[in-house]
Structure 1
Amino acid sequence: MEHETAIPADTHSQRVLDLASQKGLLRASDLDAIDAPRVVLTRLIAAGLLDRVGRGLYRLPGHPISEHEGLMVVATKAPQAVFCLLTALQFHGLTTQLPRQVWIAMPRGSHSPRIDYPPIRMVQMAGRAHLSGVEEHLCNEVKVRIYSPAKTVVDCFKHRNKIGLDVALEALKDAWRTRKASADDLWRYAQDCRVATVMRPYMEAVAHE
């Protein structure tokens, strides 16, 4: 308690604002690193100096939204989720689509995570279809689990009724053209996801273009 009273509240506030400016998306737990009490967040919100964007997540008003902010929020709230389909395509630069929701994959039988921001769309996967092709990336110190380009393309064919065959074809062509997915990887994941028969003619056509 002596340590807290030794530093004026406005100094705590400035430290929190500086950290929010530096990180873009501030988690309540981040305050521990600068030895600031959580009540400072409440004061800053009341003063209009900080916005709450989700449970335990904050940012400066008017602060530019990070390209991966939605992923960081979801990964913080549901670390078991794997980003997939349109969200993974956007992450890997394999689509011109701008998804209105964050797409996540969860094990079959899972309930959708309770997240008030951003809107999420969950698909359930089982066995190797869920476990294979998972990559881990760091976005502003938040670990994000996301399917690889090859696995994502295959998932798009598997779930073409949800996102459209045209999107799956665009992703396949882009992944092939940019060499972000090899034929071997695509075929292996196609077998894991039991969609090899569907993908074969499209893969053959792209390979001969």
Structure 2
Amino acid sequence: MQKFNFEKEEHPLIEKLTMEARAEALVAGWKGFITVEDFANVDVNRVAIQKIRSRGLIENAAWGVYISPEARAEAGPLYDLALVNAKFPRAVFCLQTAAAFHGITQDVMEEATAFVPRSYGAGPKMGREFTVPIDYIVTRRESVLEKGVEWYEVGGGCAARITTPERTLVDMFRYSTRGTEGNYDALIEAEAYRVCVERCVDLEDRGEFDFDEAYMIAAEFDFMDALINSTADIRHYYTPSPAP
């Protein structure tokens, strides 16, 4: 999603350029992060990459990942999440991180949270210069990494993989003190979960949330009835806030 469509076959003249010129052409037509593999696709090696880096055309964002200064300036506060996904596209930002992104929590998170597949080990290795605190939850279930997950643009052509508002509500319940996932160390407090449900009611009132969709996602994880029962009273007694 965050990559500009740039293939040699569609740009035959690129093969007539020098390697450094090919690197410049790629950067000029690219949006977001550029990986070593992207450069290799147009026959650009690491020597040419370092040459255009020394000229300030790109910055080294992480091991094997680059970005233009212009895209970096436009990426905004979620740049680091998008950077993780540029290198590890199967990571999924979730729970409080997703709730904050969608505006369905009042908590200010001090670290990000992401689901990752077991193939990533204990968590993606980003290099020693990457110091953003991220709590990785390793999972074996494909549905955890795919169901109710979307790419969201965060500026500068960069994108992060984040759970949808409906999936976020499901996870906030699963990992709350009212839910069923007792193996997670940092449980979501009941009050934080209640606020999440109330703000989802606000979003539904504006046509930006679908509780039925959330319940269908919960069914994927075998606790649809539990989520319905958990949200019923909150939805019944809460009056939606006026639209901002």
Distance 1:90 1:194 in 2: 24
User: Is 1:115 the counterpart of 2:126 in the alignment?
Assistant: yes
Distance 2:59 2:228 in 1: 46
How far residue 89 of structure 1 moved from its aligned partner, in angstroms, is 2.1
- 1:40-189 to 2 correspondences below 5 Å: 40-61=48-69, 63-67=72-76, 68-95=78-105, 97=107, 99-106=109-116, 111-116=122-127, 117=130, 118-125=132-139, 127=141, 130=144, 133-137=147-151, 139=153, 140=157, 145-160=161-176, 161-179=186-204, 180-189=208-217
Say how many residue pairs are matched.
204
Contact 2:152 2:162 in 1 (8 A): no
1:74-117: per-residue Cα shift (whole Å, max 9, x none)? 22332332221123224434345554433211357953222333
Q: Which amino acid aligns with 2:68?
A: L
How far residue 162 of structure 1 moved from its aligned partner, in angstroms, is 3.9
Distance 1:125 1:181 in 2: 26
Contact 2:24 2:52 in 1 (8 A): no
Q: Unpaired runs of 5+ in structure 2? A: 1-12, 177-185, 239-244
User: Is 1:200 the counterpart of 2:229 in the alignment?
Assistant: yes
Identity of aligned residues (%): 21
RMSD after superposition:
3.9
TM-score, L = length of structure 1: 0.70
- 1:6-25 to 2 correspondences below 5 Å: 7-8=17-18, 11-12=21-22, 14-19=24-29, 22-25=30-33
Distance 2:23 2:200 in 1: 46
How far residue 52 of structure 1 moved from its aligned partner, in angstroms, is 0.9
Contact 1:106 1:125 in 2 (8 A): yes
Distance 1:100 1:15 in 2: 39
Distance 1:189 1:87 in 2: 19
Distance 1:92 1:155 in 2: 14
Contact 1:136 1:146 in 2 (8 A): yes
Change (3 A) 1:132 1:43: closer
Change (3 A) 1:11 1:96: farther
Q: Name which of structure 1's ranges 170-179 and 102-111 shifts more when overlaid on structure 2.
A: 102-111
How far residue 55 of structure 1 moved from its aligned partner, in angstroms, is 1.1
1:49-91: per-residue Cα shift (whole Å, max 9, x none)? 4321111111234731524533332223323322211232244
1:166-200: per-residue Cα shift (whole Å, max 9, x none)? 43333221222111443334445556365965873
